[in-house]
């Protein structure tokens, strides 16, 4: 119940029979101020939002100019930047890379995360120890994780080549080819963020009621049927939170790929934000770079609106509303 | 089949599935700890061993001495460390001072625009960073905020603010309103009730949120990488410097990465209890 209805309760319905509050000690607050209170509390946050939204709008404004280091006195060019970007091959390549990366990485992390959570949920002694160290990759800065993996994957330094050698794999070249660069980027992302999905899935598993599972066991349902028809649907509201976070985050992937491959070889791992970095910072074409980001932002915003709407529906359904 | 054989059958199946579960866990955690062990080993290798993959070597701490700058009095590392500390602590404090009232208002009152405010804050979390960085880089040059602690604290609000407000709102929503009403009936003012009833009870949660926000601020890369150069450069960014130069010394890169990753890892030990809620922005109450 929202507290702002409390004064009405005290004087009108419900609380009327109770002893009245010690009126002399209750500070006098005018109704006007009471109404204003939440706004006053939120004012600093709104000011901060404005402080952050100001550069954002300035940035959106840049997309209509030809602002770059070579051209410090920008001119109004209308929608030329957008037209240039959406007709350029590098843009569509990075859209493809970003989309593929987001979908593959999120799927891998979700499946693996649920698997790890199910294994930890059995809570053997081993599981208890592992649960403690599960979050280690998550607490290492992604850029440092990428550097660690970069060294681990280097044929002359890292352990991956000798380990693959044990299994008879020869001709390992690290992240030199487009496919393997993408593959290892997904592996590093999964290394960091599988624990994120696992932690949320584990919390979900632990909060599920026992009785449906007992009923299923009495009815003789096997493991797979129980998992598919009971565990997964009941876990979905939790899992969805993790999936949405991972999807949104991997759409703006920067740190890991920047540290691991810097977008290469060629443009095989150039995500949208890496491309925007190259345009805006490396080549100092500010307007062009920010056009990429505005397009990505619009896409992320639309996706997140639908995702949150869907999440609310799922959560409401699971709460039995 | 008799009752007895069914039971032993079930028991045997349980033993097998337990074994497979443990094997699965071992496999995953081998994968999970492999890079960490590798980087620790590499960071202890001498220059002569740095391009070998063997585990058989004489460990040395000289890389850490170089990274910490012990030969030049430790000045460089301490400077980066202090910059990291100042920006992260500053960002968390600003978020806390601004975020606690906003989170409380959003949890306790229904007011026009409260949802908009919350979702604007959340959208900061999901906005591509460069969208803000490019105009900010220009703006900071004009305002003289480029490469300063203050500039970093401002931009890190994008990281810490949504986290603090969303998680604290969920804490305040869980806090029973009746307790607060009781305090009001006892003659407390709203402010007194908040500071002497609500705040002490949500304090552990707030502490955990602060730690988590601190870790994310510390671990952030793209903001300090693009908006600082020397004065306000953080540990995380400065550890990349070992990758540069003509001859990359991998053992130094490893030692630098370890030193930059260590502080958040140590702090993470203290937030286990509120981790789920923290990581999911209060959407999942673990």
Could you report the per-residue pLDDT of B58-80, keeping only the tens digit for each? 777 888 887 777 766 666 778 88
What is the C-alpha separation between B261 and B43, in angstroms, rounded? 13
For chain A, say whether B109 makes contact (Cβ under 8 Å): yes
* Nearest chain A CA: its distance from B73 CA (Å): 25
**Could you say which DSSP state residue A76 is in?**
B
Residues with pLDDT less than 70, chain A: 1-31, 123, 321
In total, how many domains does chain A have?
A: 1
Nearest-angstrom CA–CA distance, A7 and A33: 14
Give Cβ neighbours of residue A292 (< 8 Å, ≥ 6 apart).
A85, A91, A94, A272, A273, A275, A276, A279
Say yes or no for a CB contact (<8 Å) between A289 and B138: no
- A127 and A117 in contact (C-beta within 8 Å)? no
Mean pLDDT of the region B104-112: 82
Residue matched to tokens 């869907």: A310
Beta-carbon neighbour count of residue B30 at 10 Å?
Answer: 10
Any domain includes A235: yes
Beta carbons of A143 and B240 less than 8 Å apart: yes
- Which of A151, A234, A260 is the best mutation test for B, with the most CBs of B within 10 A? A151
Task: Tell me which residue range forms the domain holding A120.
Answer: 89-318
pLDDT value at position A29? Answer: 62
**ipTM attached to this prediction:** 0.87
Identify which of A193-207, A303-317, B193-207, B262-276 has the greatest average pLDDT.
A193-207
A252 to B35: CB separation less than 8 angstroms, yes or no:
no
The answer, for B205 touching chain A at a CB cutoff of 8 Å, is: no
- A297 close to A182: Cβ distance less than 8 angstroms: no
CA distance B167 to B165: 6
* Closest residue on chain A to B257 (Cα): A144
CA-wise closest residue to B253 among B239, B264, B265, B263: B239
Are B164 and B91 in contact, with CB atoms under 8 Å apart?
A: no
Closest CA in chain A for residue B122: A304
A254 CB near a chain B CB, below 8 Å? yes
**pLDDT for the residue numbered A198:** 93
Are B277 and B170 spatial neighbours (Cβ–Cβ below 8 Å)?
Answer: yes
Q: Which residues pair with A39 in a beta bridge?
A: none
Chain A positions touching B24 (Cβ under 8 A) are 115, 119
Rounded Cα distance, B132 and B139, in Å: 10
Beta-carbon separation of A136 and B32 below 8 A = yes
Half-sphere exposure of B34 (CA within 13 A, CB side): 20
B100-103: long-range contacts (C-beta < 8 A, 24 or more apart)? B100/B164, B100/B168, B100/B206, B101/A41, B101/A42, B101/A44, B101/A45, B102/A41, B102/A42, B102/A44, B102/A45, B102/B165, B103/B164, B103/B165, B103/B166, B103/B168, B103/B169, B103/B171, B103/B172
CB contact under 8 A, A157 and B134: no
Q: For chain B, give the percent of residues with pLDDT over 90.
A: 13
- Residue B231 CB coordination number (10 Å): 11
> Is residue A57 in a domain?
no
Contact list in B for residue A48 (CB cut-off 8 A) is: 98, 157, 161
- Token pair 């006195």: residue: A73
- Contact yes or no for B46/B251 (Cβ under 8 A): yes
A139–B264: do the CB atoms touch at under 8 Å? yes
Residues 164-183 of B with CB under 8 A from A: 165, 177, 180-181
DSSP state of A65: B
In a domain, A259, yes or no: yes
pLDDT tens by residue, B155-186: 899 889 889 988 888 888 888 888 888 888 88
Q: B230-242: per-residue pLDDT in tens?
A: 788 888 888 887 7
- Does the residue A63 lie in any domain? no
Residue B113 has a pLDDT of 77
Q: CB distance from B56 to chain A under 8 Å? A: no
Domain CATH number, residue A276: 1.10.3720.10
List CB contacts (< 8 A) between A65 and chain B.
none
Distance of CA A55 to the CA centre of its chain: 23
pTM as predicted: 0.86
Q: Is residue A18 part of a domain?
A: no
Angle between helices A232-251 and A286-318 (to 10 degrees): 170
Question: Which residues 35-94 of chain A have a CB within 8 Å of chain B?
Answer: 37-39, 41-42, 44-46, 48-49, 51-53, 55-56, 58-59, 62
Say if the Cβ atoms of A58 and B135 lie within 8 Å: yes
Confidence grade of residue B286 (pLDDT, cut at 50, 70, 90): low
> What's the pLDDT at B74?
60
- Chain B CB contacts of A1 below 8 Å: 177
**C-beta of residue B240 within 8 angstroms of C-beta of residue A147:** yes
Question: What tokens does B54 get?
Answer: 């063997």
* Residues of chain B neighbouring A278 (CB-CB closer than 8 A): none
> Would you say residue A50 lies in a domain?
no
H or E segment and range at residue A9:
helix A6-11
Query: What does pLDDT average to over chain B?
Result: 84
Contacts of A288 (CB under 8 A, 6+ apart): A68, A81, A84, A85, A279, A280
B203 pLDDT band (50/70/90 cuts)? confident
Q: Do A4 and B109 make contact, defined as CB atoms within 8 angstroms?
A: yes
- Whole-number Å distance between alpha carbons of B61 and B66: 9
Whole-number Å distance between alpha carbons of A84 and A91 = 10
Domain-located, residue A13: no
Angle subtended by helix axes A125-133 and A89-121, to nearest 10: 140
Q: What does the alpha-carbon distance between residue B237 and residue B248 come to, in Å, rounded to a whole number? A: 16
- Helix extents (H) in chain B: 3-43, 62-67, 75-108, 114-126, 129-143, 149-174, 177-185, 190-193, 199-219, 222-227, 235-238, 250-268, 275-279
């Amino acid at each position: 119940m929202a507290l702002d209805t409390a004064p009405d309760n005290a004087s009108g319905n419900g609380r009327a029979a109770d002893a009245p509050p010690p009126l002399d000690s209750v500070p006098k607050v005018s109704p006007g101020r009471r109404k204003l209170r939440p706004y006053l509390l939120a004012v600093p946050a709104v000011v901060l939002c404005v402080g952050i939204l100001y550069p954002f709008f300035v940035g959106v404004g840049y997309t209509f100019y030809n602002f770059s280091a070579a051209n410090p006195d920008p001119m109004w060019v209308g929608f030329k930047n957008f037209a240039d970007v959406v007709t350029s091959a590098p843009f569509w390549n990075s859209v493809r890379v970003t989309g593929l990366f987001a979908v593959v990485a999120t799927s891998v992390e979700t499946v693996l995360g649920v698997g790890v959570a199910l294994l930890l949920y059995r809570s053997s002694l081993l599981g208890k120890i592992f649960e403690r160290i599960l979050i280690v990759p998550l607490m290492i800065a992604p850029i440092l994780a990428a550097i660690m993996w970069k060294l681990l994957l280097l044929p002359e330094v890292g352990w991956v080549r000798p380990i693959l050698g044990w299994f008879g794999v020869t001709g390992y070249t690290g992240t030199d080819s487009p496919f393997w660069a993408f593959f290892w980027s997904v592996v590093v992302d999964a290394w960091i963020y599988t624990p994120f999905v696992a932690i949320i899935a584990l919390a979900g598993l632990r909060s599920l009621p026992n009785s449906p599972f007992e009923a299923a066991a009495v009815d003789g349902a096997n493991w797979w049927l129980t998992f598919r028809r009971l565990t997964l649907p009941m876990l979905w509201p939790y899992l969805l939170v993790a999936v949405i976070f991972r999807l949104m985050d991997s759409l703006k992937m920067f740190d890991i790929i920047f540290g691991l491959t810097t977008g290469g070889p060629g443009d095989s791992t150039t995500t949208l934000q890496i491309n925007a970095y190259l345009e805006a910072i490396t080549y100092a074409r500010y307007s062009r770079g920010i056009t990429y980001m505005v397009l990505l932002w619009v896409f992320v915003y639309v996706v997140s609106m639908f995702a949150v709407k869907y999440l609310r529906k799922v959560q409401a359904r699971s709460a039995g509303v | 089949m008799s009752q007895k054989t069914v039971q032993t059958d079930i028991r045997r199946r349980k033993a097998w599935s337990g074994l497979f579960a443990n094997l699965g866990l071992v496999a995953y955690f081998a994968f999970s700890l492999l890079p960490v062990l590798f980087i620790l080993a590499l960071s202890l290798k001498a220059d002569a061993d740095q391009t070998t993959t063997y585990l058989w070597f004489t460990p040395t701490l000289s890389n850490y001495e170089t990274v910490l700058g012990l030969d030049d009095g430790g000045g460089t590392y301490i400077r980066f460390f202090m910059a990291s500390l100042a920006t992260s602590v500053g960002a968390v404090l600003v978020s806390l001072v601004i975020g606690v009232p906003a989170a409380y208002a959003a949890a306790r009152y229904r007011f026009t625009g409260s949802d908009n405010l919350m979702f604007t804050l959340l959208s900061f979390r999901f906005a591509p960073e460069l969208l803000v960085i490019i105009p900010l880089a220009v703006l900071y040059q004009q305002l003289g905020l480029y490469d300063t602690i203050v500039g970093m604290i401002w931009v890190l609000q994008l990281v810490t603010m949504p986290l603090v407000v969303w998680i604290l709102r969920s804490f305040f929503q869980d806090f029973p309103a009746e307790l607060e009403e009781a305090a009001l009936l006892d003659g407390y003012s709203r402010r007194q009730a908040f500071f002497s009833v609500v705040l002490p009870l949500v304090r552990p949660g707030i502490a955990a949120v602060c730690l988590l926000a601190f870790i994310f601020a510390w671990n952030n890369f793209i903001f300090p990488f693009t908006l600082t150069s020397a004065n306000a450069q953080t540990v995380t960014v400065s550890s990349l410097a070992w990758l540069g130069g003509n001859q990359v010394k991998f053992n130094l890169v490893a030692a630098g990465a370890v030193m930059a990753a260590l502080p958040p890892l140590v702090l993470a030990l203290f937030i286990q209890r509120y981790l789920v809620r923290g990581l999911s922005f209060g959407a999942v109450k673990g």
